[in-house]
Structures are given as structure tokens and as C-alpha cells.
A and B are shown apart, each in its own frame.
Chain A
Amino acid sequence: MKLLTHNFLSSHVKGVGPRGFPLRLQASEVRIMPVEFNPDFVARMIPKLSLGEVPTEPIQGYEQNEDFLRTMHHILLEVEVMEGTLQCPESGRVFPITRGIPNMLLSDEQTEA
């Protein structure tokens, strides 16, 4: 699971709604998988991110700032969590990540109606 993917995931436990984001990530095994750097692609991803307390407006001209983009590229696209857990911040429910795959299945009582 890339960190970019993690940013789009949100807990779907019944009743938590938007308070289910972000899922608390605990990684016990992480791998770096090189990905070809595409500055345009990274630049387009940045506005989609939900960064919480951080001011949502990125710094002016970030699209041209190669160092910034490279750093974001590395963090968002090259870091892969292979083993770990994701935890719903509201309900505490834990979802495992195994072999890079999060298992987000809930039992019936826990799903949204």
C-alpha cells in the first residue's frame, strides 16, 4: 500500500463518517519500490491530498519546485507498506495489512446500513 493510497482511505465503520479519517497507520514492514518520476503527475496529486491540520493551500508555485515534487514523489509513491495495521481513529477497529494488501472487510454489525 502506497502512502498516496493511504491518504484516500477512510474508515467505513458504522456511524463514524468523516471522523474515520485518517486511518492510523502502523507499519512493521516497509519497502521502497522505485517509480519513474513524473512531475506533472505528482503535481496533480497534491491538491487531492487531505492533510488535516496542515494549511490546505500549498505554497505558491509548488508545481515547478522539482525538489518538492521529488520529495513528495518519494513519500507518496515509492514507500510501500508491506505489513502493518490501519486503525479507525473513531472506533478503534483495526484492519490488517498483509503482503501490501489492506483487508478492510467488516463484520455485518460494523458496516454502514
Chain B
Amino acid sequence: MLSPALLSIAMESNHQSNCKLNRIEKKFLRKQIKARHTLLRHEGIETVSYATQVLVVANGGLGNGVSRNQLLPVLEKLGQVDALLMPPSKPYSFVRYKTVEESKKAYVTLNGKEIVDDLGQRTILYLNYVEKAQWKELGLQTFPPGLKVVEEIVSFEDEKLLLESINWTEDKNNQNFQKSLKHRRVKHFGYEFHYENNNVDKDKPLPGGLPDICDSILEKWLKEGIIRHKPDQLTVNEYEPGHGIPAHIDTHSAFEDEIISLSLGSEIVMDFKHPDGVTVPVMLPRRSLLVMTGESRYLWTHGITPRKFDTVQASKGHKSGIITHDVGDLTLNKRGIRTSFTFRKVRQTPCNCSYPLVCDSQKKEPPPSFPENDKEASQLEQEYVHRVYEEIAGHFSSTRHTPWPHIVEFLKALPRGSLVADIGCGNGKYLGINKELYMIGCDRSQNLVDICRERQFQAFVCDALAVPIRSGSCDACISIAVVHHFATTERRVAALQELVRLLRPGGKALIYVWAMEQEYNKKKSKYLREDRTSPEKKEEISSDTSVQEMLVEQMPGVGNQDSAYSVPSINNFQHGSCNSKKGANSKLPIHTNRTSFHSQDLLVPWHLKGNPGKEKSIEPFGPVGTHDASPVFHRYYHVFCEGELEAACQALSDVSILQSYYDQGNWCVILQKVSSSL
């Protein structure tokens, strides 16, 4: 048996470091803590660390075979028992002592006490202080944790005013207006909600904020303690009978914990689903406020089935609560037009909830696989090329400042007054090289094109597979480090064909793509040669010395410090990896920067630094030092084997290859458009 003195020291101070506990005592402590957590998690019982009159006695309940006859005498030995509550079917009970002193005595003495139940089985009691004897409602279903419904929260007059305050007429100039979704009309205030990614654009608040009438109502709710935080985003949804919203969790990274929804015009049944499969239908009466926090906000999905009638409990009418399975009491309720005002607070820092599996801030993306059709390829490119360049544009641009000599040579050799298109111009590095040319750049990334514009270049946003330039109008085109971002052979060829389409007969195109072979003629490319310790590597935004620039600026992947990998010596090209056929559903490998390639199709990491392009106010970091690890982005590449680019170009119509060479880790081709017989 544990010595009470030692126990009391252990219990009263939670600092185990101050006490010398033996192994048994430590084990006991663990069990007690576990019991505490179990009670909280499953039963909604909150224990407190300070002494109160009421104790919860875990393992001392009717549900685990302990009877009142057995337990009461044990408790009465320590003091005067005011009440012993033993909820049916629960493995715990509550005891209230007349004084806190007596309760303390019981806490110290009875913790860890072994008693024998009805069946003669031994069980150990664990005691914890509580504020009051409280447990979840009995029944098959309970509200999802953190959920509450406050009825009659606004008056009929306020309901009318709120509904009238929304102007639904289509007004293209009004940013608040959202074209109606398939199921219902919506309008946003404060921040625009984007349905493509279920997130808000935190950098672009909508002018006007929330309507005035909402502001005063929210203040009232704050004062009354109905809500704890003041929201800054509002989405108004109008549901006609038959409308619904698919089950979803509001994006963790978009909004803070408390999400509230006011139901006006009509009541409705909203379904809450737990990942384990449990579904709880909840009646939301007219003029009630639904408050979702904690588990109900982060883990359970909520949705409204698109239908015209809801199944409700006849006896409860339109009162809030869960719709039970009691078949004898169910009836149908015809829906009316329900308008919901959902208020949320936009999150400014990543989410750090306890539900990482459903948290977009914490969850790692599933690794992408090799695309099997054009649509998959397009989606892969969207996620692992376009989205990435938009995010890294500023940093990327800062590492792309030195034009490569061969490309400069090509441009400078063009006749004066040539019209030249740079397809995939990035930050416009080549657009100003030769002032005698008229150069137009285009890129898929708006953020990169913005940078071109800042430099006074002519540039626009488009896709390299569909360039909006007149056929046969260009004297020359360049495509530098672009075609290797397309995920299928067909798309790569299509991109090359576009370049040719733009050329006038006799016009030339220069194409650079990343080579699989990073070592050529026994000479390693600069990409491989650099190691971590070389001083030149440290600078991304380097000074003007050309050597430094040349070394720093490399193929994609420069400026990333990865773990130090010594370069394996490679004598020849890795012919083995070229022309290898991909198995179905094979995952794309993630490349380790500064090493040779082992696969033609892969993801290359980019470690984002700073973010010179964006002007964001930095949130002060909390004490837990969160979020200072630099984000890593993965970009998709198809690296080319020797001869692959040339073969692809040769297959194009009306083309002749002028030159084909290797330049610092790239395969390069200069081709010319020949006159086609019309």
C-alpha cells in the first residue's frame, strides 16, 4: 500500500522533479492522470487541481460493478458524506463531503485504494476533485463536444432587419457579391471566401467590413458571454427548400476555433458526422445560434442534406436538440427558406489544433504519383508547378539574376528589330538583354509577371500550351527551363509545337531543359560541384561579382541548403534510368538537392526564404517558437536524357535542328522553322 504522506506530496505538487518517487508511485501517478483524461474525454467531466467538496471516484461506479453498499461505507470513514451520486451504467460516481477538509482527507487516503466489487473482483479507485457532479446526458447520442445551440437569440424584429440588410441583386462591381453556387445564394463580408480551395485570401480584406447591424448584435453576444471572440468574416447563405451544403469541416488554417451560425427565416436539421461514422442530426431552430468550438469545429463535419423535408421529433417540435432514433416520435417538417449568417474569425497564424489528421496546417500532403492522363498531368502541374511558383516568386526571382552566356549570345546575334517571344519568361531575366529587339514575355505565374512589369517589360500571363500570339509573327522564341515542367510526353511536345507555331518561316527557337545527366564528359555540373561549405553558396542575393553569381545561380534548386550530401562519383550517364517505363501509380520520388538524378520524373524541393515580394505584417511568434521552419515546396520536373529533346524537336513539323548541345546541366536545342508548302 502506498504511503499517504508521500502520496499527498506527489498529488499536491505536480512537479515530480521535486519529489523522489519510487517506481510504484510513479506508475500510480500515471494511472491517475490517465483516469483523469479518460473521464474528460469520454464523459465530459472536468477535473480541477485544487481541493473542492466534490470528488469523482473513477472505478467506483455502478457501471463497473461497484454497489452503493460497498462504496458508501468506505467513503464515510473519511468524513461526513452529503451525497453520493451513482449514475447508472457509469464506471464512476460523485461524492460530496460536508467540508473541503474531509474531501481532502478522502482524496489522499482513498486514492489507489483497492476495493472488491460485487463479483469479488478487485478494482482500484482513483479520485479527482471536480467543481460539481455532472455527466453527459444518457442516451445513444450526445451533441458533438464543443457544440451548443442557443435558442431565441434574436427577436422577430431583429430577424427581419437582418434579412432586409442583405442586398441580393447582382452587382458586378460589388466585390461582396458571389455568383450563386449551384445550390444556394451566398454573400461574403469582411473577407472573400474562395470555394476553389475553401480558404480566404487573408491579404485582401473586402472593403466595408461587416454590416453595421451585425456589429451591434455581435457586441451584445460578446458581453453576454455567448461568444468568446469577435468575428471578422461573415458568410450569408440562403437555402431554399431543396438546397443543402455538402458535409465539410471549415478549413482549419482559414478560421479560428469559434464558428457561429445564426439561422433565420426557417429552422433546419444539420447533420454532424464523426470520422468514426457516427452521425448526429441536430435541429437548428429559427432565430437560434449554433456555436461550434473544439471537436465539433475541428473534427466533426457538418452539412445540410439537400431536401425539402427534414425528419424531426414530433414531441419536441422546433426546439433544439438531437433528433433521436425513437421511431415512435418522428415526423416530417417542411423546410422554409432559411438564411444563415455564419460569423467567423480569420486565422492569422497556422492552426495547431489537436486533430492533425484533418488539419491542413499540420497534415502532410499525400505524395503525388506519376500522371496517367492529360487531366492528371494538368492537376499535377497545377499543384506542383503553378501554385509553387506563385508562392516562391519573390525568392525565386532573387536567385535568378544572371543571364546565361549562351542565351545572351543567341539574343545578341538576332537582327535588329526582331520580334522575340520569351515563353516562360519568369522574372524577365532575358527581356532586357538586347535593346534592339522587341521582346514580349509571358509566364504562367502572375506573381512572376508582376516582377517583369515592375522592370518595365512587356509581359502577360498565359499557359505555354496556348500562347495568344499570332501564328508566324515571331522572328525568334526562347523557352528556358520551361518544357521540363510538363508532366507527359504529349504535353512537352505540344509546348514545343507552340513555339514553332509562333515562328515565321526562317525564325529560330532556343530551348533549354534540365538534363538527367548532371555530369558530362567526366565534368560535374556546377549544380553537383557545389558543396555546403563553399562560401559562395551562402549568398542568394549576391553581390555583383560575376563568379559568385555564376556559382550561386544554378538550375532550379539553387539557394537551398539541404543536408550535406557528398556527390557520388559518376563516370557515365545514367542510361539505366532513361527510357524507363513508369509503373502504374508509381509515386514521384523527392529529389535530394545537389545530388544526381535517379529518376526522370521527380519532385525537387525549394526551401522558401524571406519572401521579399510580399508585404505581410509578421505576427509575433508565440513562446512555443512555432512556424519558423522555412516552408518547403516541391516542384515537378521531367529531366531529359541525352538526345531526348533533340528527338522531340525532330518530330515537330516544319523544323530543322541547327544546334544541339549541353550547357551546365541542361540539354539545349536551337531549331529553325522551315517554310512549309502551303
Contact = CB atoms under 8 A, between A and B. Distances in A.
Do A and B truly interact? yes
B467 to A, nearest CB: 7
Contacts of B465: 111-112
Contacts of B417: 40-41, 43-45
Most buried by B among A33, A44, A45: A44
B470 A8 contact: yes
Contact of A99 (B436, B450, B471, B474): B450
A9 B469 contact: yes
A44 B416 contact: yes
A5 B460 CA distance: 10
A101 B450 contact: yes
Contacts of A9: 460, 468-470
A4 to B, nearest CB: 7
B446 interface: yes
Given A9-B469, A12-B466, A103 B416 contact: no
Contact of A103 (B438, B460, B469, B470): B460
A48 B469 CA distance: 13
Contacts of B473: 8, 48, 50
Contact of A41 (B436, B446, B467, B468): B436
Nearest to A48: B419
Interface in A31-89: 33, 40-41, 43-45, 48, 50
Nearest to B418: A44
Interface string A16-34: 0010110100000000010
B458 interface: yes
The binding surface of chain A is classed by DSSP as mixed
Given A10-B469, A11-B468, A41-B416, A102 B463 contact: no
Given A10-B468, A10-B470, A108-B378, A40 B416 contact: yes
B461 interface: yes
Most buried by A among B378, B456, B463, B470: B470
Nearest to B442: A104
Most buried by A among B438, B442, B463: B438
A10 B468 CA distance: 5
Given A5-B458, A8-B440, A99-B450, A106 B416 contact: no
B162 interface: no
B208 to A, nearest CB: 21
B453 interface: yes
Contacts of B436: 41
B432 to A, nearest CB: 13
Interface in B413-446: 416-417, 419, 436, 438, 440, 442, 444, 446
Contacts of B462: 12, 103-105
B483 interface: no
B460 A12 contact: no
A58 B252 CA distance: 63
Contacts of A102: 460-461
Contacts of A21: 470
B481 interface: no
A40 B435 CA distance: 12
B466 A101 contact: no
A39 to B, nearest CB: 11
Nearest to B474: A8
A65 to B, nearest CB: 17
Contacts of B467: 12
Interface residues of B, number: 29
A113 B398 CA distance: 35
A10 to B, nearest CB: 5
A7 to B, nearest CB: 8
Contacts of A101: 446, 449-450, 453, 459-461
Contact of A111 (B460, B466, B470): B466
Contact of B463 (A11, A41, A106): A106
Contacts of A104: 442, 460-462, 468
B654 to A, nearest CB: 17
A49 to B, nearest CB: 10
B175 to A, nearest CB: 14
B466 A106 contact: yes
B466 A112 contact: yes
Contacts of B471: 10, 18
Contacts of A99: 450, 453
Interface in B464-518: 465-471, 473-474
Contacts of A50: 470, 473
A106 B444 CA distance: 11
Nearest to B459: A101
A18 B450 CA distance: 29
A33 B463 CA distance: 28
A89 to B, nearest CB: 13
A36 to B, nearest CB: 9
Nearest to A33: B456
Contacts of A108: 378
A10 B471 CA distance: 9
B38 to A, nearest CB: 52
A102 B473 CA distance: 19
Contacts of B456: 33
B438 A4 contact: yes
Contact of B419 (A8, A11, A18, A106): A8
A108 B554 CA distance: 33
Contacts of A20: 468
Contacts of A100: 453
Nearest to B444: A105
Nearest to A35: B456
A21 B637 CA distance: 34
Contact of A12 (B458, B461, B468): B468
A32 B305 CA distance: 56
Contacts of A12: 462, 466-468
A99 B378 CA distance: 28
Contacts of B460: 1, 5, 9, 101-104
Contacts of B442: 104
User: Which 9 A-B pairs rank lowest in CB-CB distance, beginning with the nearest?
Assistant: A44-B417, A104-B462, A102-B460, A111-B466, A12-B466, A12-B468, A103-B461, A10-B470, A104-B468
Interface of B: 378, 416-417, 419, 436, 438, 440, 442, 444, 446, 449-450, 453, 456, 458-463, 465-471, 473-474
Interface of A: 1-2, 4-5, 8-12, 18, 20-21, 23, 33, 40-41, 43-45, 48, 50, 99-106, 108, 111-112
25 contacts: A2-B458, A5-B440, A5-B460, A8-B440, A8-B470, A8-B474, A9-B469, A10-B469, A12-B468, A18-B471, A20-B468, A33-B456, A40-B417, A44-B416, A45-B419, A48-B473, A99-B450, A102-B461, A103-B446, A104-B462, A104-B468, A106-B463, A106-B466, A111-B463, A112-B466
Given A9-B460, A45-B438, 11 more contacts: A2-B458, A8-B419, A8-B474, A9-B469, A101-B446, A101-B461, A103-B460, A104-B460, A105-B463, A106-B463, A106-B466
